[in-house]
Structure 1
Amino acid sequence: MGPSARAIAEHASFRAFLHCYLQEVDSGQWYHPADWADDPAGHYQGSHVCLLALDTQRVRLAVDVVYFSMAGRHRFGQVRLWNAGRLSWSTLDPERAMFMLVRELYALIGGMVPELRRSRELELLYRLADSYQVMARYVGVRRSDPRLRSDRFIDGEQSLLFGHTAHPTPKSRQGLAEWQHASYAPELAGRFQLQFFSVHRDLVIQAGHGNLSAAAMVEAILETTVACGRGPLKLAEDQVLVPAHPLQAQWLLCQPAVMAAIASGDIQPLGPLGPSFTATSSVRTLYCEDCDWMFKFSIPVKVTNSLRVNKHHELRAGVVMARLIEQTGFLDHEPRFHMIQDPAYLTVRLPGRSESGFEVILRDNPFYRGRDRGILSVAALTQDPLTNHTSRLRTLIEGLALNESRSLAAVSRDWFRQYLSCAIEPALRLYDDHGIALEAHQQNSLLDLSSGYPSRYYYRDNQGYYLSESRREELQALCPELAHTPELFYRDAMIRDRFCYYLVVNQLFSVIARFGEDDLLAESQLLDLLRHALKAWLTRFQGPARPLVAMLLSDARLPYKGNLLTRVHDVDELNAELEMAVYTSIPNPLHKTLADRSKTRGRPMTGPQQHDVA
């Protein structure tokens, strides 16, 4: 029968947490099992043993590393605990190991009031337990669902049972009641109607880039809908139709300002209307195969670190960036690189509120019925497979190799080169040519794999644009509306760190690690291919991307977003100044001194230095 859903979720939760701990806090000491004499009774089956000292608890953890990844995405086996008081080793459950590491983390923090430290520690422990429990539920419900292997866009979006591979609480969903998961969690593939409000036109704020207004776009989805058996919905001339996510509608109906507007007749709840929608991987962006637009809502739920709400400046940013990208003409010359725009928004103005809660972003939907096959996010492509299954990437490469009568390694090299040419190089060139960088992490990055090889890349997320301060004058000449969105501009040094993390460390290195873990092509060979490509790009880039490529080729360390440290300090990055998470650094696997790191024998293997968590 294989492991239980709980055991699968426990292992996946531990892997995600320990990945963060090793990258951000303490890389530990690494040994080959043949050189590990302290606990030699055959407990370690992998290529390495990672030793972590938890000094404040007078214990050590020895983790069996079943797969060693040059990109840092290791796979772990059994955990062993050394208890100094008993002078002995014993097997430790992964869940207990996580909680001991959390305790060690907070014991190391200096300069924090003890009561605050304890409060934050309890909060992290709660989110760890919540994420683990939610993941177990999702695995239990979906593990035999054939849609997990489907090539439809929405099935891929809803297949992420394990979530963010570099986040300590990948399935934490604070604010989502247990009974609401079945309807609103993408992993459970529920479908539901949007809730609608009729709002007096004087209270509505909207904008868009295109031929239709945001209000007209919303009305279009209900044109043929029969509402409550009364025929097509008819609105008065002074009324505008405003949609809401059902979770947000529940919240809105409890707000005093909304209740007052309902009492005065300015807002009228209409209830559920229109076609059924379902959640994409972000939880709050909703999709319908028969609609030309997706809808991105605010919801009263904390997903991983942050309460997911649309800020007013983000509404403007989507429209402005749609205009700017069009003005650059960049996409006209890059048929394999596409950006899914958020070209319109709609919200309601309420007294004393910068955001009322009605904020909704309309997103282009290129994956409507008939055009939704072969589209998969990099996160879904590189996700760990369930027990007794192969990963999506290995299945893809095996199929190509069989059809082409070629080796897995040869197909893998060609696949990786095509991925670089359609996803990575154009993103860097957009930054180099126009000073526009993208938050192109795994979940924001979609690939058209209908032919087996990456034929087109799609970027999504209106919150994920960084404009170079050094190009401000040039960009504002193309799009004068940028004068009203100064928050989009950043210094190149900051952009370089963020862009490097999202595009390379988060997205690209995950692809490399998946190839290696699936035994398709060694990570060292993929890193050599990447190094060769970077050297070629370096000769062509003349703008702000050039220092980034040079950094990748020469620096010993790379910037890294510390999702665990961000969580430890209870930072809601979407509400922090400059949306700033905690950043640290990790060893650069492209750096020559790391080339033979996995071959070290006869002595402890050192990784990143221990970081100060204060």
Structure 2
Amino acid sequence: MGPSARAIAEQASLQAFLHGYLQEIDPGQWRENTESARTPGHWICELSLESQRSRLAIDILYRSDLGRHRYGKLHQWLNGRYCWAEIEPFQAMCLLVRELYARSAGMVPELRKLRELELLHRLTDSYGVMTRYIAKRRHDPHLYLNRFLESEQSLLFGHASHPTPKSRQGMSEWQQDAYAPELTGRFQLHYFMVHESCVLEDSATAVPASAMSELLINGSQASLNLPDNYVLLPGHPLQAQWLLLQPAVQSAIEDGVILPLGALGPEFAATSSVRTLYSEQADWMLKFSIPVKVTNSLRVNKVPELRAGVVMARLLAQTGFAESEPRFRILQDPAYLTVNLPGQAESGFEVIFRENPFIKGQEHDVVSIAALTQDPLPGRNSRLLSLIEGVALNENRSLAAVSQDWFQHYLACAIAPALRLYDEHGVALEAHQQNSLLDLRGGYPDTYYYRDNQGYYLSESRRATLTELCPDVNHTPELFYRDAMIRDRFCYYLIVNQLFSVIARFGADGLVSEAALLRQLRGFLQTELARLDGPARPLVAMLLEDSCLPYKGNLLTRVHDVDELNAELEMAVYTSIPNPLCRRVQSVLPNQLRKQAVEVHHGAA
């Protein structure tokens, strides 16, 4: 019968938590396992619990060159009995949380206890939510279908390197059933009529945002015969429920400025971000503000992000990059609508229109890299393993040979063009796993898609050129960063978060060793280095030569209770990890490389 949904969720929660702990806090002391009677693992990693005068021993079932290990049983050293005792994963996480805050020097005791309580609450929430999703979906035959929406709704374990991957504060159980992507609900949007004097909109397309909104309901019809001077605004049901309770909105309704219309039009479904909605029938996906904290952050659209989507659509069109790299697509967010209410920077009505190339008939074989590399449920293969086995069978070739060819296709369509976009135009992307989609027609990566208007970084060194190309960038000065900071961010999102997850999945599935793919990656980067002469060149040189790489500390960010998307300047905690591409560190055990000082950088999660 296999493990229960709760047991699966507990182990997955441990997996995510320990990944952050070993990368960001303490790499542990590693030793070969000579106690074979206790565990089948070949390695044991010991973590010190100094404040508790104890130790934690973790059986390593798979040791990854990239830090993406697989964990087995856990044992705590009992000083009083002078022996090891097996403990449950959640108990181990609680011990490590206690140790984290015991080590948090300089924090006021009361604040430390409040933050510790908050982290424990989010851990418990994430664990419980994950259990529910697994129980509902583990036997669902649609879970592993390679179609856009099925891929988006398959992330039962969530962010692989976040300590609370399924924390959903602000969404009750009945709302989960209706609106959580993992539970596959579909629902209508809630619409408002708003007097045009209060509406703010912009569009980089020939179609105004207000017209896009009408077309969501009436398809090809020209008009819904709205009253004169009124505009139709869509809302997420969760957003609408919150808005209708706000005094400023209630006052506008009383004055006849805003008229709630309720649920209308076709049904939509949530994608993996929870707040971006999709319909096979619509030309646009919609990104809403919702009153829910997903992992770290309250998910709201800020006015600068509305502008950024429009400006970047115009800028990228001027670069001609799409024509030169047809296998690398950036899903544009070229239009927005919102309501301007007195005294508020954001009213809560903000909605972003995102292009949807995955309409009915075009949604097959499109999978996010997060879904492709996600750990499988017990007794199942990962998406990537099933895909490679199918290709190898069709081509009558070995799994390793197909894997290395697949990886080369992936580098060609996903990584090389991203480096060239930064090198030639000074535009870097926050291309993490969940923001990255692959078209897998024929089994191999054919086209890469990037999404997220919050994830653009423009090189300060290219400001004059970009401004000449598209003067509208003067309206988004917050998008410009120094190249040194962009290198750190781009390195983490594109390489450490996205690319390394692909390599680790191949290794964990036994398709080809991580070491072989790292050698292949080194060769690819050396070739790219020879053709780059702009800001991407120092980034590639860093990857090939530096002993450490920048790493976004999701656990440290959570320990300090930082909401990156809403903190001043979007602050996030960064640290560093050993560089597996650097020949000097490839043979060094994890405990022989210590963390550099933690830094605080600015930017989105």
Under a length normalisation based on structure 1, what TM-score does the superposition of the two structures give?
0.96
- Name 1:16's counterpart in structure 2: 16
- Name 1:28's counterpart in structure 2: 28
Q: Tell me which of 125, 144, 149 is aligned to 2:144.
A: 149
Q: Tell me which of 33, 43, 54 is aligned to 2:49.
A: 54
Q: CA deviation at 1:611?
A: 6.3
CA distance in 1, matches of 2:500, 2:596: 22
Give yes or no for the alignment of 1:68 onto 2:63.
yes
Counterparts in 2 of 1:437-586, with a 5 A limit? Answer: 437-586=428-577
Three-state SS of the structure 1 residue aligned to 2:540 is: helix
- Name 2:107's counterpart in structure 1: 112
Q: Say whether the 8 Å CA contact 1:26–1:611 is kept in structure 2.
A: no
Q: Tell me which of 191, 194, 200 is aligned to 1:199.
A: 194
Three-state SS of the structure 2 residue aligned to 1:180 is: helix
Q: Tell me which of 292, 296, 320 is aligned to 1:301.
A: 292
Q: CA deviation at 1:112?
A: 0.9
Q: Tell me which of 160, 168, 180 is aligned to 1:165.
A: 160
CA distance in 2, matches of 1:286, 1:580: 27
Q: Deviations over 1:47-101 (max 9, x none)?
A: 2100001010011011000000001100000001101222111001000000100
Give yes or no for the alignment of 1:606 onto 2:597.
no
CA distance in 2, matches of 1:219, 1:612: 49
Cα gap change, 1:141 to 1:225, in 2 (>3 Å) = farther
Q: CA deviation at 1:593?
A: 2.6
Q: Say whether the 8 Å CA contact 2:573–2:598 is kept in structure 1.
A: no
- Name 1:211's counterpart in structure 2: 206
Deviates more, 1:53-62 or 1:40-49: 40-49
CA distance in 2, matches of 1:176, 1:324: 37
CA distance in 1, matches of 2:461, 2:174: 50
Q: Say whether the 8 Å CA contact 1:29–1:607 is kept in structure 2.
A: no
CA distance in 2, matches of 1:456, 1:224: 29
Q: Deviations over 1:520-579 (max 9, x none)?
A: 000000000000010111111000000000000000000000000000000000112332
Counterparts in 2 of 1:580-595, with a 5 A limit? Answer: 580-595=571-586
- Name 1:340's counterpart in structure 2: 331
Q: Which runs of 4+ in 1 moved over 6 A?
A: 610-614
Give yes or no for the alignment of 1:44 onto 2:39.
yes
Q: CA deviation at 1:45?
A: 1.4
Q: Say whether the 8 Å CA contact 2:330–2:449 is kept in structure 1.
A: yes
Three-state SS of the structure 1 residue aligned to 2:576 is: strand
Q: CA deviation at 1:151?
A: 1.4
Cα gap change, 1:117 to 1:613, in 2 (>3 Å) = farther
- Name 1:37's counterpart in structure 2: none
Letter in 1 for 2:111: L
Q: CA deviation at 1:176?
A: 0.2
CA distance in 2, matches of 1:224, 1:209: 21
Under a length normalisation based on structure 2, what TM-score does the superposition of the two structures give?
0.97
Letter in 2 for 1:587: P
Give yes or no for the alignment of 1:97 onto 2:66.
no
Q: Say whether the 8 Å CA contact 1:284–1:298 is kept in structure 2.
A: yes
Letter in 2 for 1:76: Y
Q: Say whether the 8 Å CA contact 1:105–1:613 is kept in structure 2.
A: no
Counterparts in 2 of 1:241-256, with a 5 A limit? Answer: 241-256=232-247
Three-state SS of the structure 2 residue aligned to 1:27 is: coil
Give yes or no for the alignment of 1:273 onto 2:267.
no
Q: Deviations over 1:352-391 (max 9, x none)?
A: 0000000000000000000000000000000000010000
Q: Deviations over 1:240-284 (max 9, x none)?
A: 001110001000001011000000000000000000000000000
Q: Say whether the 8 Å CA contact 2:575–2:595 is kept in structure 1.
A: no
CA distance in 1, matches of 2:594, 2:291: 37
CA distance in 2, matches of 1:469, 1:138: 44
CA distance in 1, matches of 2:287, 2:367: 19
Using the aligned pairs only, state the percent identity: 65
Deviates more, 1:604-613 or 1:76-85: 604-613
Give yes or no for the alignment of 1:189 onto 2:184.
yes
Three-state SS of the structure 1 residue aligned to 2:118 is: helix
Q: CA deviation at 1:605?
A: 4.9
Cα gap change, 1:283 to 1:360, in 2 (>3 Å) = same
Three-state SS of the structure 2 residue aligned to 1:520 is: coil
Structure 1 portions without partners, runs of 5+: 35-39, 227-231, 599-603
CA RMSD of aligned residues (A): 1.4
Letter in 1 for 2:262: G
Greater relative CO (CA pairs within 8 A, separation 6+): 1
Q: Say whether the 8 Å CA contact 2:564–2:570 is kept in structure 1.
A: yes
CA distance in 2, matches of 1:587, 1:237: 62
Letter in 1 for 2:160: T
- Name 1:86's counterpart in structure 2: 81
CA distance in 2, matches of 1:555, 1:177: 46
CA distance in 1, matches of 2:324, 2:419: 14
Three-state SS of the structure 2 residue aligned to 1:437 is: strand
CA distance in 2, matches of 1:567, 1:78: 25
Q: CA deviation at 1:149?
A: 1.3
Three-state SS of the structure 1 residue aligned to 2:450 is: strand
Q: Deviations over 1:184-230 (max 9, x none)?
A: 0000010000000000010000000111000000101111599xxxx
- Name 2:400's counterpart in structure 1: 409
Letter in 1 for 2:6: R
Q: Say whether the 8 Å CA contact 1:25–1:611 is kept in structure 2.
A: no
